[in-house]
Amino acid sequence: MGKIDADVVIVGAGPAGLVLGNLLRAAGIDCLILERRSREHVENRARAGFLAANSVRVLTENGLADGLLTNGVRHDTCAFRDDRAEFELKYSELGNGEVHTVYPQQFLVTDLIAEFLARGGEIRFGTEVSSVSGMDATVIADDLLLRAKYIAGCDGRRGISLRSVPARVFRRDHDISWLAILAEAPPSMSAIGYAIHERGFAGHMARTSTVTRYYLEVPPGEDPENWGDDRIWDELHVRMRADRYGELKRGAIIERRIVDMASRVMDTIQRGNLFLAGDAASLISPAAAKGANLALMEAEILAHALIEALTETDTTALERYSADCLPRIWRAQEFSLWMINLLHGPAGYDDEAVFQRALRDARLESLRVSRAHQDFFAENYVGV
Residue 302's contacts (CB-CB under 8 Å, 6 or more residues apart) are 20, 152, 275, 277, 321
Q: How far apart are CA 205 and CA 77, in angstroms?
A: 11
Q: How far apart are CA 218 and CA 259, in angstroms?
A: 10
Q: Which member of 194, 214, 215, 321 is catalytic?
A: 194
Q: Which residue in 307, 277, 275 sits closest to 295, CA to CA?
A: 277
Residue 366's contacts (CB-CB under 8 Å, 6 or more residues apart) are 373
150 is catalytic: no
Q: Centre a 10 Å sphere on the Cβ of residue 213 and count the other Cβ atoms it contains.
A: 24
Q: How far apart are CA 307 and CA 28, in angstroms?
A: 9
Q: Which member of 150, 187, 215, 290 is catalytic?
A: 290
Angle between helices 351-369 and 321-343 (to 10 degrees): 110
Distances (CA, A) of 20 to 41, 163, 284: 20, 21, 20
Under a CB-based contact definition with an 8 Å cutoff, are residues 117 and 125 in contact?
Answer: no
Residue type, 378: A
349 is catalytic: no
Q: How far apart are CA 69 and CA 164, in angstroms?
A: 37
Give the pairing type, strands 129-133 and 138-141: antiparallel
Residue 144: strand pairing partners: 2, 141
276 phi and psi angles, rounded to 5 deg: -100, 145
Q: Which member of 204, 286, 321, 344 is catalytic?
A: 286
Task: Report the C-alpha dihedral over residues 288, 291, 293, 295, rounded to 10 degrees.
Answer: 160
Under a CB-based contact definition with an 8 Å cutoff, are residues 67 and 354 in contact?
Answer: no
Q: How far apart are CA 172 and CA 357, in angstroms?
A: 21
Q: Which member of 75, 100, 204, 344 is catalytic?
A: 75
290 is catalytic: yes
Give the pairing type, strands 31-35 and 144-153: unpaired
Angle, vertex CA 102, rays to CA 172 and CA 373, nearest 5: 55
Active site residues: 75, 194, 286, 290, 381
